[in-house]
Amino acid sequence: MDDVRKPLGRRTFLLGSAVAGLAAAGLGTAGQASAGVAVTRSVGPFEVIALLDAAGPFFLPAAEAFTGASERDWARARRVDPAAFGQDGAWNLDFRCFAVRLPSGRFALVDTGIGPAGSPASAWAPVPGHLLDRLAEAGIDRHDVEIVVLTHLHEDHFGWSVSLAGVPTFPNARYVIQRTEITALEQAGDEVVLPYVVEPLRRTGQLSAVDGRVCLAQRRGTRMTTLPTPGHTPGHQSVLLRGAGHQLLVTGDVLVHAVQLVAPDVGYAFEADQETARETRRAVLSRAGHLPTWLATAHLRQPFVRPGC
């Protein structure tokens, strides 16, 4: 279980000087993330809205962050997501969350981005993020969010869940996290994530620890469920909307770059268990072949992609 802490620890200790360098160069700032026109996809009565929290270059070149990719894999990835490829091998990525307009008119939110300056992601990500502005631009009041699904407990996915003072940002929401994810951090002796986000949610009674696949909402034959997708972290989960003859999967970090979409066996340096992550990607992409599918991605430069491109 010690591997659970590697992504957070390695990022935290490698990145202090890297972030300072990016800032001095005028790169990696959240100001690069412009709202633009909201990009949406619908599955039955559910509408999925992409919300860009921030954007910028990663602190490692793509060739160092990913292993096992051939030149052909990189060429295919470039065709799928050309904006991800920066100068001198840089990996440009988005930090994205998704709102789901429920049939009730209220909302679910999948992940909460990098958060404000001073959040745990400040060690390496381009804080502050702009999620709260993006919600307002989409006409979403944070009091109308009734479900927050955290795909996993890496710092670029839970940043706006609570304030720096530990107050839940979405006061009427239950926060859905796989119990396996929390347990792994507890067993690892985590001293960053648990006090920042898990313990405040426990204190307010808003933490909803779940086991496996759980139905979050349904209407007219369309269901929104959690889907365990381990590997990136032990309790990583995705969100699946399925109905009306097609499906949409909010992937979290099942794949973080187009090279893993075109070549699912390519490993990522910050996966807790690379072999399990590979098996998960294979299973997700195989399952996607059974119905017309959109993947809603956290870090590709386009929010919605189709597998098999």
CB-based contact 217:48 (threshold 8 Å): no
Q: Residue 14's pLDDT is what?
A: 35
Sheet holding 304-305, edge to edge: 215-219, 222-228, 237-243, 246-250, 293-296, 304-305
pLDDT tens sequence across 94-122: 999 999 999 999 999 999 999 999 999 99
Residue type, 129: G
What's the CATH architecture for 2-9+28-305? 4-Layer Sandwich (3.60)
Q: What is the DSSP letter of 281?
A: H
Residue 163 neighbours by CB under 8 Å, 6+ apart: 116, 169
Q: Is the pTM of this model over 0.85?
A: yes
Q: Residue 2's pLDDT is what?
A: 27
Q: Residue 216's pLDDT is what?
A: 98
Using the structure block, give the residue that is written with the tokens 């381990």: 230
Q: Average pLDDT, whole number, for the chain?
A: 90
pLDDT tens sequence across 194-241: 999 999 999 999 999 999 999 999 998 999 999 999 999 999 999 999
**Spatial separation of the C-alpha atoms in residues 30 and 113, rounded to whole Å:** 11
Instruction: Locate the domains of the chain by residue range.
Output: 2-9+28-305
pLDDT tens sequence across 24-33: 223 333 333 4
Q: Residue 210's pLDDT is what?
A: 98
Provide block-wise average pLDDT over 10 residues at a time, the chain (309 residues).
32 36 33 59 97 97 98 98 98 98 97 98 97 97 98 98 98 98 98 98 98 97 97 98 95 98 98 98 92 96 90
Q: Residue 244's pLDDT is what?
A: 83
CB-based contact 94:122 (threshold 8 Å): no
Helix (H, G, I), strand (E, B) or coil at 278: helix
